[in-house]
């Protein structure tokens, strides 16, 4: 922790990244209670007003809905999906990757080929196809589907870090103590691989925001009335010339959050490398 | 002034890190004459390597340097990076510890050597190759043309290191710095390399700066010795004087803590130095050794200065010569006495190995252990010694169940346990414990000491009550000289010696009857090694556990063992009671091994039997004597063709050779 702060002092970029993430978290938690509008409320007198006008800080869209309110409400759903996705895909990835790497042999070969096949399809396309077939996209189904699309990546990373730890002598020591496989994998090895796994999980967090926003943009993401940043961009595309703020602010929201998390992820990996 | 090739004046090197500024080299001054060789000795963390890197000006960016290094009168700190290029490699050459990481694995050896003379001496390709071949010839490498065509991985570690030295020789440097060049190599290879370094130094009129932690090695190559501790020179002087009259407490402790010829567990307890080398802050004063010194008093913390004791002999200690009575030099500590040898000589073996084989790999086979028979008596110590690749560790790992033998039987207390860990019963797992070479890797870095030791107790000794377990852990920690405060520490917070103590505590905590010790001291500094050896010996006398002690260091084996087994290429060369093997050596390989051990006492010079060539290819099955190719006593064709018979000298002493006693 002390080292974390020491490094933080030396890298202003990481400070900015962390500040942006904190800002979004604060928005998502307390934003709805301080903003005078809800995301669905239509101000029919003030349609497509510019930022700062008629009490709308970031303006309104063609239906007179407050952009700020929609972005803040949207941050709740996107952060929920992204957080759940990164936890869920990391968890499944660790279990799969650890089992394959630990037991090795045919199971490992089968695992690698299966992951290769899944990886050959881009996560976005895979999610789109599944969502298209299901025809329903709630926060739950979106989380599950994006997680599945991310599992190959997290599983491969987990397998890789397990392989380097597996040859350590403390694993041999556990074996000749008669420990079972589950104990060795999750009590002996897992704590020592937490560094790279946490880094991967934070990277997945950023990717899933991108993926959810892209799905929203393509119209297969969260369905109205749930506000979604990607959806806001595509909704307001026809009026981009008259009211550019309706597209600009949601796009900025996506970009700021994704970049901030990427910076944070890099920083975490730097600190964790020192820890080892 | 004029006859010094290198002068270092009040050199300070400090590193600024996250934990603050610390001092790596502190106020070091030394002189090196033309054609002189200087040996720098100290434990790890004493600033020896930093000193040598500073001479080459290879320093990390967070280093702060103060002082002067004058090479032939010119201060190297005044030179620009460009000017330094003409010094590095050209006038000052350096050889590093790991030959395989100093050579580029994807270029041929010849190419890498040619490059040096093409760059520094502007030779063309043909001239450069000629120079390369000549340099390789100087290092006594057979077939230099063939070697030049090969890649680094195609030759052994010893040859790689000789290539590195040849590379350093190419530009005919005036000063050669050798940073632990033989530490990673086997003793027999080390002996050959040390000899050729000495020879070349005289032939080429070079000055040498030789860095090592091993007094025996320094004794062989250096004329002048500098002892460093925590970044400072604590004693310096001509070799003879340092060995005959070591005056600084650290030098004495360092010389005394090494197990050497004649020192065995029954007659001497090894001297140790308590504690470990501390990192020193930039402005700490006083004697750096004060906190570990037995003879410290109040003045040590403040007073510090170097005094001349004899001609050219300096020591940085106030009482260095005040208490200079001979008995303080070799302080013999009385060893713990062995309890009455009740069942030590009993007929019944604890462990019996029958025709043990281990072949690795399926398609490309590696014959690691090729049919060995031996046994371990209860309450005794069997020392297994041999060079790397002789199969000693594989044998130990099979006994402890890390993997299954390919053929043969392991009988433990008359039960066949020639199976791997997952098939062994709890009782067997409990009774055979293993201590690994590298304690940093054998203790889980995420677990606390309590969990590391407690888990073994819980799993194998069925002590499930947390409170009861904690009491037992504290008790066992006390036995290995660690306090209660270690319970909650993680391995990273411990020094190497403390880590190995925890590993020993873990093995002992469940009262096994056999502990396989796989090179438990070779990753440790000599002073720490001594304390671990003392501990292992004391514990063995207390608990009557048997050890299978595996090491490459004959001195260590000699110190601790009751029986010695010499292995070569997966076979037993010689086996017997310690004194029989050491004093009445019969196998030529044992002889060579004994002769190669560096002597610490400068008054004794022995004839080294030089072993040429390499270990036999482990991918081939050997029909004849595995040692035939390198043997200095070969009797003829029979050696290559027929596996030698067992020659039994006494009930417990036998060897495998065609030469009859």
Residue spans per domain, chain A: 12-35+58-275
Chain B contact present for A170, CB below 8 A: yes
pLDDT of residue B322: 47
pLDDT of residue B605: 65
Shortest distance, CA A186 to any CA of chain B (angstroms): 12
Cβ contacts (< 8 Å) between A172 and chain B: which residues? 402, 434, 436, 442
pLDDT tens by residue, A232-258: 888 888 888 888 888 888 899 999 999
- Give the mean model confidence (pLDDT) for residues B508-513: 90
pLDDT of residue B230: 85
Chain B contact present for A273, CB below 8 A: no
d(CA B572, CA B377): 18
pLDDT of residue B343: 47
| DSSP-assigned letters across all residues of chain A | -HHHHHHHHH-HHHHHHHHHHHHHHHHHHHHHHHSSS-SS-B-TTSTTPPTTBTTBTT-B-TT-BBHHHHHHHHHHHHHHHHHHHHHHHHHHHHHHHHHHHHH-HHHHHHHHHHHHHHHHS-HHHHHHHHHHHH----HHHHHHHHHHHHHHHHHHHHHHHHHHHHTSHHHHHHHTTT--HHHIIIIIIHHHHHHHHHHHHHHHHHHHHHHHHHHHHTT-SSPTTS--HHHHHHHTGGGTTT-THHHHHHHHHHHHHHHHHHHHHHHHHHHHHHH-
The structure tokens listed for B372 are 């060995």
Query: CATH assignment of A12-35+58-275?
Result: 1.10.3720.10
Name which residue leads in pLDDT, B394 or A276: B394
Cβ contacts (< 8 Å) between B403 and chain A: which residues? none
> Among residues A22, A19, A59, which one has the least CA distance to residue A37?
A59
pLDDT at position B475 over 80: yes
Shortest distance, CA A274 to any CA of chain B (angstroms): 11
Cβ contacts (< 8 Å) between B446 and chain A: which residues? 191-192
Shortest distance, CA A183 to any CA of chain B (angstroms): 11
Mutate to test the interface with A, among B62, B446, B458, B520 (most CBs of A within 10 A): B446
Closest residue, chain B, to A9 (C-alpha): B18
pLDDT of residue B340: 47
Chain A contact present for B620, CB below 8 A: no
Would the CB atoms of A3 and B18 count as touching at under 8 Å? Answer: yes
Share of chain A above pLDDT 90, in %: 26
pLDDT of residue B325: 46
Average pLDDT taken over every residue of chain A: 85
ipTM over 0.95: no
CA distances from B586 to B163, B551, B590, B615, B658 (A): 34, 20, 7, 20, 11
The structure tokens listed for B638 are 């029979």
- Give the mean model confidence (pLDDT) for residues A197-214: 90
Name which residue leads in pLDDT, B156 or B431: B431
Residue A90 pLDDT grade (very low, low, confident, very high; cuts 50, 70, 90)? very high
Q: Are B185 and B165 in contact (CB under 8 A)?
A: no
pLDDT at position B275 over 80: no
**Domains located in chain B, CATH noted:** 4-91+171-328 (3.40.50.300), 351-448+492-656 (3.40.50.300)
Closest residue, chain B, to A189 (C-alpha): B444
Chain A contact present for B636, CB below 8 A: no
Chain B contact present for A188, CB below 8 A: yes
Q: Where would I find the beta strands (DSSP E) of B105-213? A: 175-179, 207-212
pLDDT at position B7 over 70: yes
d(CA A130, CA A136): 10
pLDDT of residue B563: 92
Would the CB atoms of A175 and B422 count as touching at under 8 Å? Answer: yes
How far does CA B51 lie from the centroid of its chain? 21
How many cross-chain Cβ pairs, A to B, lie less than 8 Å apart?
A: 54
pLDDT of residue A181: 92
Chain B contact present for A5, CB below 8 A: no
- Give the mean model confidence (pLDDT) for residues B128-147: 85
d(CA B408, CA B626): 20
pLDDT of residue B273: 80
pLDDT of residue B22: 83
pLDDT of residue B328: 42
Name which residue leads in pLDDT, B228 or A40: B228
d(CA B159, CA B99): 9
- Give the mean model confidence (pLDDT) for residues B216-221: 86
Which of B363-372, B513-522, B614-623 tops mean pLDDT? Answer: B513-522
Cβ contacts (< 8 Å) between A188 and chain B: which residues? 444
pLDDT of residue A139: 83
pLDDT at position B476 over 50: yes
Cβ contacts (< 8 Å) between B448 and chain A: which residues? none
The b-or-e profile of B454-486 (16+ CB within 10 A means b, else e) is: bbbbbbbbebeeeeebbebbbebbebbebeeeb
pLDDT tens by residue, B41-73: 988 878 888 888 888 888 888 888 888 888 888
Question: Pick from B421, B442, B459: which is nearest to A170 by CB?
Answer: B442
Chain B contact present for A105, CB below 8 A: no
pLDDT at position B184 over 80: no
d(CA B34, CA B38): 11
> Among residues B436, B435, B446, which one has the least CA distance to residue B491?
B446
For A7: left if phi > 0, alpha if psi spans -120 to 50, otherwise beta; the answer is alpha
Would the CB atoms of B434 and A176 count as touching at under 8 Å? Answer: yes
Question: Pick from B437, B442, B445: which is nearest to A192 by CB?
Answer: B445
The count of residues in chain A is 276
Average pLDDT taken over every residue of chain B: 84
pLDDT tens by residue, B526-581: 888 888 898 898 888 888 899 999 998 888 898 899 999 999 988 999 999 988 88
The structure tokens listed for B546 are 């048997």
Question: Pick from B18, B421, B445: which is nearest to A176 by CB?
Answer: B421
> Among residues B157, B178, B159, which one has the least CA distance to residue B100?
B157
Residue with tokens 């035939």: B628
Shortest distance, CA A10 to any CA of chain B (angstroms): 11
> Among residues B78, B56, B74, which one has the least CA distance to residue B4?
B74
Question: Pick from B400, B446, B460: which is nearest to A192 by CB?
Answer: B446
- Give the mean model confidence (pLDDT) for residues B389-408: 89
Residue B434 pLDDT grade (very low, low, confident, very high; cuts 50, 70, 90)? very high
The model carries a pTM of: 0.84
Would the CB atoms of A169 and B442 count as touching at under 8 Å? Answer: yes
pLDDT at position B18 over 80: no
- Give the mean model confidence (pLDDT) for residues B3-31: 85
pLDDT at position A136 over 70: yes
- Give the mean model confidence (pLDDT) for residues B114-138: 88
- Give the mean model confidence (pLDDT) for residues B231-252: 85
Cβ contacts (< 8 Å) between A6 and chain B: which residues? 18
Chain A contact present for B444, CB below 8 A: yes
Would the CB atoms of B402 and A173 count as touching at under 8 Å? Answer: no
Question: Pick from B18, B438, B446: which is nearest to A6 by CB?
Answer: B18
Q: Are A151 and A98 in contact (CB under 8 A)?
A: no
Chain B contact present for A168, CB below 8 A: yes
Would the CB atoms of B426 and A168 count as touching at under 8 Å? Answer: no
């Amino acid at each position: 922790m002390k080292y974390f702060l020491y490094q933080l002092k030396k890298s202003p970029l990481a400070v900015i990244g962390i500040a942006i993430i904190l800002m979004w978290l604060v928005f998502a938690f307390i934003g709805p209670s301080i903003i005078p509008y809800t995301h669905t409320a239509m101000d029919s007198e003030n349609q497509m007003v510019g930022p700062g006008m008629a009490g709308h800080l970031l303006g309104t869209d063609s239906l007179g809905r407050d952009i700020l309110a929609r972005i803040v409400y949207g941050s709740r759903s996107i952060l929920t999906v992204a957080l759940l996705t990164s936890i869920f895909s990391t968890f499944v990835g660790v279990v799969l990757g650890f089992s394959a790497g630990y037991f090795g042999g045919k199971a490992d070969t089968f695992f690698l080929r299966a992951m290769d096949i899944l990886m050959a399809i881009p996560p976005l396309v895979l999610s789109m196809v599944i969502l298209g077939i299901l025809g329903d996209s709630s926060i739950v189904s979106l989380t599950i589907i994006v997680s599945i699309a991310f599992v190959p990546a997290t599983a491969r990373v987990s397998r890789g870090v397990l392989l380097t730890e597996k040859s350590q002598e403390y694993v041999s020591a556990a074996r000749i103590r008669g420990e079972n496989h589950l104990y060795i994998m999750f009590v002996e090895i897992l704590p020592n691989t937490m560094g790279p796994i946490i880094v991967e999980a934070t990277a997945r967090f950023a990717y899933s925001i991108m993926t959810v926003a892209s799905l929203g943009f393509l119209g297969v993401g969260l369905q109205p009335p749930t506000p979604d940043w990607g959806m806001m961009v595509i909704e307001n595309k026809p009026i981009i010339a008259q009211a550019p703020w309706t597209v600009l602010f949601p796009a900025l929201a996506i970009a700021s959050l994704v970049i901030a998390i990427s910076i944070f992820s890099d920083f975490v990996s730097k600190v964790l490398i020192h820890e080892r | 002034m004029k006859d010094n090739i290198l002068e270092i004046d009040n050199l300070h090197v400090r590193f600024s890190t996250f934990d603050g500024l610390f001092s790596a080299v502190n106020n070091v001054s030394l002189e090196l004459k033309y054609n002189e060789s200087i040996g720098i000795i100290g434990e790890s963390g004493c600033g020896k390597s930093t000193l040598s890197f500073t001479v080459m000006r290879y320093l990390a960016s967070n280093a702060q340097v103060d002082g002067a290094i004058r090479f032939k009168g010119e201060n190297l700190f005044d030179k620009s990076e460009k000017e330094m290029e003409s010094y590095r490699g050209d006038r000052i050459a350096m050889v590093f510890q790991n030959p395989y990481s100093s050579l580029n694995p994807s270029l041929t050896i010849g190419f890498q050597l040619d490059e040096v003379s093409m760059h520094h001496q502007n030779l063309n390709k043909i001239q450069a190759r000629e120079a390369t071949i000549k340099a390789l010839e100087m290092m006594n490498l057979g077939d230099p043309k063939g070697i030049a065509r090969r890649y680094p991985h195609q030759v052994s570690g010893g040859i790689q290191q000789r290539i590195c030295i040849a590379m350093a020789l190419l530009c005919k440097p005036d000063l050669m710095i050798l940073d632990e060049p033989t530490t990673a190599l086997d003793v027999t290879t080390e002996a050959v390399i040390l000899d050729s370094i000495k020879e070349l130094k005289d032939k080429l009129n070079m000055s040498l700066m030789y860095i090592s932690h091993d007094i025996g090695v320094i004794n062989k190559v250096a004329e002048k010795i500098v002892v460093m501790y925590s970044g400072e020179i604590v004693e310096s002087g001509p070799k003879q004087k340092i060995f005959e009259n070591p005056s600084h407490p650290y030098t004495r402790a360092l010389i005394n803590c090494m197990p050497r010829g004649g020192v065995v567990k029954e007659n001497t307890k090894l001297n140790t130095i308590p504690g470990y080398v501390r990192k020193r802050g930039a402005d700490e004063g006083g004697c750096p050794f004060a906190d570990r010194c037995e003879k410290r008093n109040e003045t040590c913390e403040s007073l510090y200065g170097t005094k001349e004791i004899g001609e050219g002999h300096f020591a940085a200690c106030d009482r260095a010569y005040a208490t200079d009575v001979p008995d303080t030099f070799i302080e013999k500590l009385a060893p713990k006495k062995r309890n009455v040898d009740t069942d030590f000589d009993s007929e019944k073996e604890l462990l019996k190995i029958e025709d043990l084989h281990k072949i690795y790999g399926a398609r490309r086979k590696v014959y690691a252990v090729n049919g060995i028979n031996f046994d371990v008596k209860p309450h005794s110590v069997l020392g297994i010694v041999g060079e790397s690749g002789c199969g000693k560790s594989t044998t130990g790992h099979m006994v402890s169940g890390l993997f299954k033998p390919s053929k043969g039987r392991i009988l433990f207390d008359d039960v066949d346990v020639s199976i791997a860990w997952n098939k062994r019963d709890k009782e067997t797992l409990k009774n055979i414990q293993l201590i690994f070479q590298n304690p940093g890797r054998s203790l889980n870095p995420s677990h606390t000491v309590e969990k590391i030791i407690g888990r073994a107790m819980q799993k194998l000794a069925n002590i499930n009550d947390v409170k009861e377990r904690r009491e037992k852990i504290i008790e066992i920690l006390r036995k290995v000289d660690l306090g209660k405060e270690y319970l909650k520490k993680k391995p990273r917070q411990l020094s190497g010696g403390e880590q190995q103590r925890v590993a020993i505590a873990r093995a002992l905590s469940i009262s096994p009857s056999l502990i396989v010790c796989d090179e438990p001291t070779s990753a440790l500094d000599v002073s720490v090694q001594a304390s671990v050896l003392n501990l292992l010996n004391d514990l063995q006398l207390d608990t009557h556990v048997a050890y299978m002690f595996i090491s490459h260091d004959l001195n260590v084996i000699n110190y601790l063992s009751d029986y010695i087994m010499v292995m070569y290429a997966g076979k037993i060369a010689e086996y017997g009671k310690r004194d029989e093997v050491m004093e009445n050596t019969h196998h030529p390989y044992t002889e060579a091994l004994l002769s190669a051990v560096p002597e610490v006492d400068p008054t004794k010079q022995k004839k080294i039997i030089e072993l040429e060539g390499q270990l036999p290819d482990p991918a081939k099955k050997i029909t004849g004597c595995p040692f035939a190719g390198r043997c200095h006593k070969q009797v003829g064709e029979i050696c290559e063709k027929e596996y030698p018979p067992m020659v039994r000298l006494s009930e417990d002493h036998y060897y495998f050779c065609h030469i009859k006693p």
